[in-house]
Amino acid sequence: MPLKQYYALPLPEIVSELNTDLKKGLSTQEAQVRLLHYGKNKLEQLSSISPLRIFFAQFSDFLVLLLIGASIISFFIGEKKESLVILFIVIVNGAIGFFQEYRAERSIEALRKLESPHSIVIRDGKEQEIPSEELVPGDIIKLSEGCKIPADARLTLEADFQVNESLLTGESLPVTKGLETLKENTLISERTNMVFSATIVSSGRGKAVVTATGMDTEVGAIARMVQSETKGVTPLQEKIEHLGKILGLVAIGIAIPGFILGYFQGREPFSLFLLFVSLVVSAVPEGLPIIITITLALGVQRLLKAKTLVRRLPIVEVLGGTDVICTDKTGTLTCNAMTVENIVTADYFFDIEGNGFTPQGDVFGSAFSLFEKTQVQEVEKQEENRITPLKAQQLSSLQKVLDGITLCNDATIDLGDPTERALIVASAKLDIEKVELKKQFPRIDEVPFSSDRKYMLTLHQEKDANKTVAFLKGAVEIVLEKCSSVIVGNKTVELTKQHREAIQQMNELLASQGMRVLALGYKKGTEKEFPQQQPPSEFIFAGLIGMIDPPRAEVQPAIATCRHAGIRVVMITGDHRLTAEAIGKKVGLESSNILTGDTLEAMSDAELEIAVEKTSIFARVSSEHKLRILSAFQKNKHVVAMIGDGVNDAPALKKANIGISVGSGTDLSKETSDMVLLDDNFATFEKAIKEGRVIFDNVQKFVHALLAVNLGEILLVLSSILLSVISRKAIPVILLPIHLLWINLLTDSIPAMALGLDGAVDGIMARKPRSQNTTIFSGILFKIIVTGFTFALVTFVVFSLFYPWWLPNLSDKQLLYAQTIAFCLIVFFELFYNFTTRSPRGALHAGLFTNKWLLGAVALCGSLQVLVISVPALRGLFRVTSLDLIDWGIILGSALGGVILLELVFFVVRKVQGTQY
Ligand code: ATP
């Protein structure tokens, strides 16, 4: 369907064409009908998973192809059974790889779908929040700073409205929007009266009528382009893939001389070739990257249960290494349940009762003088002090404050910024109805609130059409700068230096109780006197509003746990120093060293780098300061997580090692972040860090297990060839190609997956964060090498006992017997060794029965091995002989003995080094 040129139509025509109403919007019923007609407002997902592609990818590896080729040749040369089994194992291996990868892709795709944005829409004459998917053409939507535009729409109202349209146009600078009707065939980048789905409001406020949804939008038209996201490989996977290549090369490097040596010893060249190809295939941990993806994806699902949405998988790897958390205050450390407690005018002090956003609570007031430094006393809550709507009208300054906080406000009781909702609730407690007031004083112009400006300004028409009144609301020092007089009683008097000081003192008094304090100013005039471009000035100060936002109960213990885990928590807030300090104290931050935006501004980068090390609270900071603070931490080699919600947090979220937004934050902050705390709660992040540590540990566990095993296999195969050279005796190979591949199949995937599901080891949050130099091999490389050698040595010794190669006249039967024992021994050795990898302090520390997945995996793989030896038909295929109970006793005893020996060695090493790990 061709897109209509809505930008070239006058607004009334669009309204009638879309059969809507700018004020009331659509009716819910009509919207439902349209939803059926137009379908959901979402882009059709082109499935990125092609099972066939994934399946064939399993066999495209060069080494696997070589193995397939070698076994086909061996089929024709004579070893028919063996080659069929090899082919079978390769296919089973491929199938396991396929299921793992398919599952990983599926869970990643499912996670992508979890982000379901919401929009504010006007329906049935009321503002409401609905899932963006339910938007239909004709809907009237409200757009605010930081929100992602949910559909294509024509603007009907805008204030300081700018949109980042880089997604569509490639232009990274924000585009200023307007309302003017444009010419036909205007380029997309110049359609300034339209907003487009998936672009982001970078500043201001707007209202628009939806013209197209879903695949009919501009972004729908290029959906294929947008959807073809490239599949990201995590840094850990990259490293592991790299390691795989190195191991492959090392194995080839060993295999070629091994083959040549073997050949000159007179061994049969083709079976030797097959042996070494199998060895190389087994040595390369080809399953590792995908097991890592699964472990990460499963971890991500666990995180989701704990209310953390991971937007970028690789970030899970960084989580465990985080050693500094920078967090904003409002909503994350506090409940975001702002409640206005006090209003202070020059002549009255008001106490407002009630909690949260329920507009119920009495208001009490007592006369006092702000400027004569009368001590603020508890307002006595007696009947004569109760402020009724009628009494409020008689108190001019209070009336101004109430009008101001209601009109200079974009929220309703139920929707919008919590600070503004709290103000509406406070005025509603004195029966002020925003809707009514707005009718009396329609807004004709505005400067929307931004965190960097720290104020909001609106201009309203008075009853007398020539008169206007402007309201200014914002941070106290900012509003005060723009005021030149103050209302006392019914009079306006000049705002002297002493007045300013008194107001500041009151501000500090309220702030030191943990309150967020706003000031309100107003100014009367004519419309012409409100030049938006010029900085506002000459306002009349009306009063201060103090609101509390209690800290969340869970935050204090969470901060304590972080500290215990060697993670510093730092608060970065736009709020006043004293407000930040009071909240900081309550949640257990070291509040002795606070840095404010002004001081920070005067510091050089080098000074800041020193300062950040001892500062726990940064107050009154701007977005630029946030970036500098982050850079300073990163310069000092910290891994920094940043939690933020606003538009002004976005650059810092991008810069941080982990950017975290919150569920109630702006779409922009969510878009730029790596993770979203769905419940806005800091304590949730502490859990995420723990989960991150568990995931890293688990990856380390199976990397440890797999590499140790692979090394053992290489050494074992080589040992017979090398010892033959040294001893000048013909020592047959201990493991056959088929055995190597079977061991690879049994031990590479199932137990590794079980280790990936392991729980946290004791004291995981009592250890310091991983340093940046730590790699996945830190602490395990030594163990891998020792274990590899022990595996090979123990198996070789046991093999030699059953097949004393130094003696003459040994039979093939004896060899088959010894090979069978060695084959089983290495399988059980490996299965048992998985338990050792579970804790740096050994198997017993982790508990032998605490991972039921691993117990299951070991039981399954062990049974399969017993099956191969016990079923006569399989025995033939796998070239093994039957074993009796004594043999099994020797196998299990040696495997267990080998693992216990290793545990003892590691124990002694820990003791000698004096480390716990
Ligand atoms: P936090 O870290 O606590 O989330 P922030 O950095 O997001 O804080 P802002 O919300 O940007 O802080 O607020 C900064 C200051 O701007 C506040 O201290 C307050 O004085 C003022 N302020 C906040 N919200 C509004 C608003 N809606 N209108 C006017 N002024 C506001």
Q: In the prediction, which pLDDT does 78 show? A: 62
Tokens found for residue 769: 């964060």
Query: Quick count: other Cβ atoms within 10 Å of Cβ 241?
Result: 16
Q: Is the CB of 145 under 6 A from ligand 1?
A: no
Q: Which residues touch 127 (CB under 8 Å, ≥6 apart)? A: 120, 121, 142, 412, 415
In this structure, are residues 87 and 126 in contact, taking their beta carbons and an 8 Å threshold?
A: no
pTM of the entire structure? 0.75
The DSSP H or E segment spanning 211 is strand 200-212
Residues 105-114: b if buried by 16+ CB within 10 A, e if exposed: bebbeebeee
In this structure, are residues 465 and 526 in contact, taking their beta carbons and an 8 Å threshold?
A: no
Main-chain phi, psi angles of 522, to 5 degrees: -145, 170
From the CA of 418, how far away is ligand 1's center (Å)?
10
- Distance (Å, whole) CA 113 – CA 311: 10
Give the position, in ligand 1's atom list, of the atom nearest the Cα of 571: 2
Q: Which residues touch 850 (CB under 8 Å, ≥6 apart)? A: 759
Q: Is the CB of 451 under 6 A from ligand 1?
A: yes
Q: Whose CA is nearest to atom 29 of ligand 1?
A: 474
* Choice among 328, 549, 649, 667 that is catalytic: 328
Give one DSSP letter per residue of 747-793, joined into a string.
HHSHHHHHHHT--PPTTGGGSPPPPTT--TTTTTHHHHHHHHHHHHH
The residue behind tokens 């990898």 is 837
Q: Whose CA is nearest to atom 11 of ligand 1?
A: 451
Q: In the prediction, which pLDDT does 228 show? A: 40
From the CA of 576, how far away is ligand 1's center (Å)?
9
Q: In the prediction, which pLDDT does 233 show? A: 53
808-825 per-position pLDDT tens digit: 877 888 989 999 999 999
Tokens found for residue 73: 């040749």
Q: Is the CB of 644 under 6 A from ligand 1?
A: no
Those residues of the chain that have pLDDT short of 50 are 1-2, 224-232
Q: Is the CB of 575 under 6 A from ligand 1?
A: yes
Say what the alpha-carbon torsion angle 608, 609, 610, 614 is, to the nearest 10 degrees. Answer: 90
Q: Is the CB of 473 under 6 A from ligand 1?
A: yes
Tokens found for residue 650: 């976005």
Give the position, in ligand 1's atom list, of the atom nearest the Cα of 579: 18
**Does the active-site annotation cover 328?**
yes
Q: Whose CA is nearest to atom 25 of ligand 1?
A: 474
Give one DSSP letter per residue of 25-78, joined into a string.
-B-HHHHHHHHHHH--SSPPPPP---HHHHHHHTT-SHHHHHHHHHHHHHHHHT
The DSSP H or E segment spanning 288 is helix 288-305
Give Cα separations from 181 to 13, 137, 157, 163, 311 (angstroms). Answer: 11, 19, 13, 18, 39
In this structure, are residues 188 and 45 in contact, taking their beta carbons and an 8 Å threshold?
A: no
Tokens found for residue 523: 């100014």
Q: Is the CB of 516 under 6 A from ligand 1?
A: yes
From the CA of 419, how far away is ligand 1's center (Å)?
8
Q: Is the CB of 146 under 6 A from ligand 1?
A: no
Residue 892 burial class via C-beta count within 10 angstroms: exposed 0-12, middle 13-18, buried 19 and up: middle
The residue behind tokens 């130099």 is 773
Q: Which residues touch 461 (CB under 8 Å, ≥6 apart)? A: 441, 442, 444, 467, 468, 527
Residue 860 burial class via C-beta count within 10 angstroms: exposed 0-12, middle 13-18, buried 19 and up: middle
Pocket test for ligand 1, best of 406, 423, 447, 454 (most atoms within 8 A of CB): 454
Give the position, in ligand 1's atom list, of the atom nearest the Cα of 332: 4
Phi-psi region of 61 (alpha: psi -120 to 50; beta: other; left: phi over 0): beta
